[in-house]
A = this chain, B = another copy of it.
Amino acid sequence: MKTVEVPLDDRSYPINIGSGILDDGSMIQRHIPGNKVLIVTNETIAPLYLERCYAALRQGDSRLQIEHVVLPDGEQYKSLDVLQKVWDKALEARLDRNATFVALGGGVIGDMTGFAAAAYQRGVHFIQVPTTVMAMVDSSVGGKTGVNHPLGKNMIGAFYQPRVVQIDVETLSTLPKRELASGLSEIVKYGLIRDPQLFAWLEQNMDKLLARDAAAMTYAIERSCVNKSEVVSADEREGGVRATLNLGHTFGHAMESSQGYGVWLHGEAVAAGMVMAADMSLRLGWIEEDILHRTIALLEMAELPTKPPQGMTVADFKGFMAVDKKVLDGKLRLILLKGPLGNCDVTGDFDPAVLEQTLEAFCH
């Protein structure tokens, strides 16, 4: 088992990564201060892991009062309406301010449960048990929580830290292949923005990850969590360097928004978005052509898309990019690659004509 510590002063927490650690009750229970727990999960994960989660929480006759709520599965249910079910359940079960909410599921469950915990009675405790690669390497680190709004993704939410993240890589055995690849997209991202060694390792080991090899998966998740943790610790509220974690996301969010949430997976949109960011970086003369080619090749190994959805227009991109959270006072900032592999910049200081060229090259 590996542990990555996320150092955030009094809100620091450990990420435990290993095989079978979902069943280690004491490792989870020590992070539950009160005696009431609400497990939030979805219809797909509940039949697979809810019982094991209960068993772990009850281990050693813990006497915890454990409740659960099962939400529908999918990005399209990441809404305030569905979130209300969590608060309804918590209030019906009379959970108090010392309760702990446990997110058992993927990124959507993690984001929703985190925001539910942040806002329930103005903040209760929160634990994450992610069951997708995406949730393990992205949503579980950094405290970003929230729900979507019809006019934009993750528009309503909070920065809220869990007390522990318990990552059992065995739970990935039940993950559909497309979702696996979607998570790998974010791992590629860490390579691109700051970890060229990880990028090179991925080029050599992508097949092992696709085969869900536990050791390879543990390594890739650990490296991703370390990378994200380093960035988040330096910039918890996203004033500066944290924005680099959004490489490909501005383009990607536009793709997700234009299709309606849930058609493409988040990591799929980010994959195509990263290629667009790399393309733009190349056109600006900020990177060598080689980086663009290696990025496309690596994403193709994972069978991830490297172009936006068919039919998406330049106007679609522009419309959705204007409401992106990275728009500060009307000026569009993008995360672009700059320099050797593993370097990038968050900047609004580029020739808008080059953005136009990239959009035109990828849209038909």
Binding site for B on A (CB under 8 A): 34-36, 80, 84, 87-88, 91-92, 94, 96-98, 115, 118-123, 144-146, 149, 151-152, 154-159, 237, 322-323, 325, 327-330
Contact = CB atoms under 8 A, between A and B. Distances in A.
13 contacts: A34-B328, A34-B329, A87-B155, A88-B151, A91-B152, A91-B155, A96-B325, A98-B328, A118-B158, A119-B119, A122-B144, A122-B146, A122-B157
Given A94-B322, A115-B119, A123-B158, 8 more contacts: A34-B328, A94-B323, A96-B325, A96-B327, A98-B329, A121-B155, A122-B146, A122-B157
B120 A156 contact: yes
A120 B119 CA distance: 13
Contact of A119 (B88, B91, B156, B327): B156
B92 A151 contact: yes
B155 A158 contact: no
Q: Would you call the interface of chain A mostly helix, strand, loop, or mixed?
A: mixed
B122 A158 contact: yes
A162 to B, nearest CB: 16
- What is the total number of copies of this protein in its complex? 2
A357 B330 CA distance: 62
A144 B97 CA distance: 14
Given A122-B158, A157-B122, A151 B91 contact: yes
Contacts of A34: 328-329
A328 B96 contact: yes
Nearest to A96: B327
Given A87-B156, A122-B158, A36 B80 contact: no
Contacts of A119: 115, 119, 146, 156-158
